[in-house]
Amino acid sequence: MPEGHTLHRLAGALREQFAGARVAVSSPQGRFVESAALLDGTPLVGAEAWGKHLFVEFEGEHFIHVHLGLIGKFDVFQTPAPAPVGQVRLRIAGESGYADLRGATACDLFTESQRQMVVDRLGPDPLRADAVPETAWRRVSRSHRPIGELVMDQEVLAGVGNVYRAELLFRHRIDPLRPGRTLRRGQWEAMWRDLVELMEYGVRTGRIDTVRDEHTPEAMHRPPRKDDHGGEVYVYRRHGQPCLVCGGKVRTEVLAARNLFWCPRCQPRFRSRSRAA
């Protein structure tokens, strides 16, 4: 379930388990062998996320850059570590824990300048204290592209994926096909604040809950459902089902190569003033 909150949560888990310790680094699958050998036995300095990118830092300004893609997983466990099963691309092992990476789109050894090049391409990440939301607004407010495409563009906003896209636009009753440049500044600022809150909740709980009354202590302690995103949502993957607010049917369509979900009644088609007049 790799949206931005997953990576920030993972970075925290890696720091907690390994930061400051010498770790064993290996690549049982064989696709990261040379880099793993270089890092093996080196102190792990820390880990941080930027959008959907994860950087694990080792002494000597070496970074492992990980992007989980659609199906990747990076899990932290307590020792003893069993023999690797299946395609484990990367294993980091310490005294009391180990972490296995599988199925990632990217797992590379980076220098500081390579890390910076990746970060420079990304838009502001709502989960980072150093994010500058104005940068995203400049891009949105100048673009003719649909807002449903812009919020998923990592050069506009880093860390937002398909679930947060659908839910954010629903919560603000915005037509996903509405051109970015027609949004009002106040609308965008409200969306940004909402994203920060929703994603911080995601980091704390590991779930994506966007239905307003889900943000309660009771909801926080309820065990996650088996569904992937783990929480309660308004429209994501609810196509054909009644909208929780108006009862109309939730619809789905492909936008930006991904399945978009929205409620046509709560998010009516946007018409520009010039066209309506």
- Residue 185 backbone dihedrals phi, psi, to 5 degrees: -55, -40
Q: Could you say which of 82, 86, 223, 247 contacts DNA (CB under 7 A)?
A: 86
Q: Decide if residue 120 touches DNA (CB under 7 A).
A: no
With contacts defined by CB under 7 A, how many residues of the chain interact with DNA? Answer: 32
Contact segment (CB under 7 A) with DNA among 17-25, 41-49, 158-166, 168-176 equals: 158-166
Contact segment (CB under 7 A) with DNA among 11-19, 214-222, 240-248, 254-262 equals: 254-262
- Nearest CB to DNA, comparing residues 29 and 141: 29
Q: Could you say which of 2, 97, 148, 180 contacts DNA (CB under 7 A)?
A: 2
- Residue 92 backbone dihedrals phi, psi, to 5 degrees: -110, 125
271 is catalytic: no
- The one catalytic residue in 2, 124, 126, 176 is 2
For 264, the token pair is: 């046509």
Q: How far is the CB of 169 from DNA (least distance, A)?
A: 14
- Site map (CB under 7 A) of DNA, residues 35-54, x = contact: ----------------xx--
Q: Decide if residue 97 touches DNA (CB under 7 A).
A: no
Q: How far is the CB of 273 from DNA (least distance, A)?
A: 29
2 is catalytic: yes
- The one catalytic residue in 73, 181, 258, 265 is 258
- The one catalytic residue in 48, 52, 57, 126 is 52
CA-based radius of gyration for the chain: 20
Which residues are marked as active site? 2-3, 52, 258
Where on the chain is the footprint of DNA (CB under 7 A)?
A: 1-3, 6, 29, 31, 51-52, 67, 69-71, 73, 86-87, 102-103, 105, 152, 154, 161-163, 226-230, 237, 257-259
